[in-house]
Amino acid sequence: SQQGEEDPQALSIQEGENATMNCSYKTSINNLQWYRQNSGRGLVHLILIRSNEREKHSGRLRVTLDTSKKSSSLLITASRAADTASYFCATHSGYSTLTFGKGTMLLVSP
Amino acid sequence: NAGVTQTPKFRVLKTGQSMTLLCAQDMNHEYMYWYRQDPGMGLRLIHYSVGEGTTAKGEVPDGYNVSRLKKQNFLLGLESAAPSQTSVYFCASMRTLGETQYFGPGTRLLVL
C-alpha cells in the first residue's frame, strides 16, 4: 500500500515561479526522500531529510519535514522548463524498502 | 561507472510466453529492487534482495520470480506472461539500509 501521498497530482506554472509539492505519510519514518522522474526515464534522487531534521536545502530545492503532521514539502524556486517532470516522495521506516507515493506531475511553461 | 543498467529496453510478448529481465549494477550495492510503474499507480515493489543469494516478496509479487546469484545482478522472470503485466519495469540498487536508491532506465514490456 502507498505510504506517501503527494499533493497536488498535477501542477502547471510559468518559468520563474516557485513550485511547491506536498507529501503526507501514515507511519513513523527514519527518513523521507524526494525523487524526480523525467518522462520515460528512471527516477533520480534529489534530496534526503532525516526524521530529526526540519529543513534541508540543495541548490534551488528546499525540503521541510513536519513529523508531528506526518508531512513534507518540496519547494523548487525560480522554476525552469527543464524542471518539468514527475516528483515522488519516498519514506523509509526502518525496513529494507522504500515506499513511494504516486507522484506530482510538474509542468513548467516558458 | 555505468550505474544501474537494464536489459532489454523494450520487449513485446504474447500471452503465455516467458522472459527474463536483467538488472546489473557496478556500485557493489547490497540491496536491489524490482518495481513496476503503471499510469496513476506510482511505483509498486515486486521483489527485492538484501544481498547475494537472498530474495524477498514486495507488494505485488504474483506472477514474477527473481534470483540474485551474483551480487551485481538481479534477474526478474515472468514464467507465463499476462496482459496485466504490461508495464514499465524499473530496477534499483542501494548501498545500505536507509540510503538513496539508484534507478536503471527502465524496461517497457507489452504483453499482447
pLDDT digits (tens, 9 = 90+) for B38-56: 987 789 999 999 999 999 9
Residue found under cell 522472470: B77
Top pLDDT among A83 and A2 is at A83
Q: Collapse the DSSP code of A78 into the 3-class scheme (helix H, G, I; strand E, B; otherwise coil) and give the result.
A: coil
What DSSP assignment string belongs to A47-109?
A: EEEETT-SEEEETTEEEEEETTTTEEEEEE-S--GGG-EEEEEEEE-SSS-EEE---EEEEEE
User: Out of B40, B48, B103, whose CB is closest to A97?
Assistant: B48
Q: Collapse the DSSP code of B86 into the 3-class scheme (helix H, G, I; strand E, B; otherwise coil) and give the result.
A: coil
Q: Give the A-side interface with B, CB within 8 Å.
A: 1-2, 30-31, 33, 40-45, 48, 88, 90, 92, 94, 96-98, 100-103
Which residue of chain B comes nearest to A105, CA vs CA?
B40
Q: How far apart are CA A86 and CA B33, in angstroms?
A: 20
B70 and B52 Cβ atoms separated by less than 8 Å: yes
pLDDT at B4: 97
pLDDT at A32: 96
Yes or no, beta carbons of B101 and A45 under 8 Å apart: yes
Band the pLDDT of A3: cuts 50, 70, 90. low
- In angstroms, the separation between the Cα of residue B17 and the nearest Cα of chain A is 25
- Checking if the pLDDT of B60 tops 90, the result is yes
Q: Where are the beta strands (DSSP E) in chain B?
A: 4-7, 10-13, 19-25, 31-38, 42-49, 56-57, 64-67, 73-78, 87-94, 102-103, 107-111
Yes or no, beta carbons of A102 and B101 under 8 Å apart: no
Average pLDDT over residues B84-103: 95
pLDDT at A1: 45
pLDDT at B32: 97
Chain A environment of B106 (Cβ under 8 Å):
40-42
Radius of gyration, alpha carbons of chain A: 13
- In angstroms, the separation between the Cα of residue B82 and the nearest Cα of chain A is 22
pLDDT in tens, A38-80: 988 999 999 999 999 999 999 999 999 999 999 999 999 999 9
Residue B27's identity, in one-letter code, is M
Cα torsion B12, A35, B73, A2: sign: negative
Residues 6+ apart with CB under 8 A from A44: A35, A36, A37, A38, B103
Q: Collapse the DSSP code of A88 into the 3-class scheme (helix H, G, I; strand E, B; otherwise coil) and give the result.
A: strand
Tell me which H or E stretch contains A92: strand A85-92
Share of chain B above pLDDT 70, in %: 100
Q: How far apart are CA B32 and CA B25, in angstroms?
A: 9
Whether chain A has a CB inside 8 Å of the CB on B97: the answer is yes
pLDDT in tens, A10-47: 999 999 999 999 999 999 999 999 999 998 899 999 99
Average pLDDT over residues B12-21: 97
Residue A78's identity, in one-letter code, is A
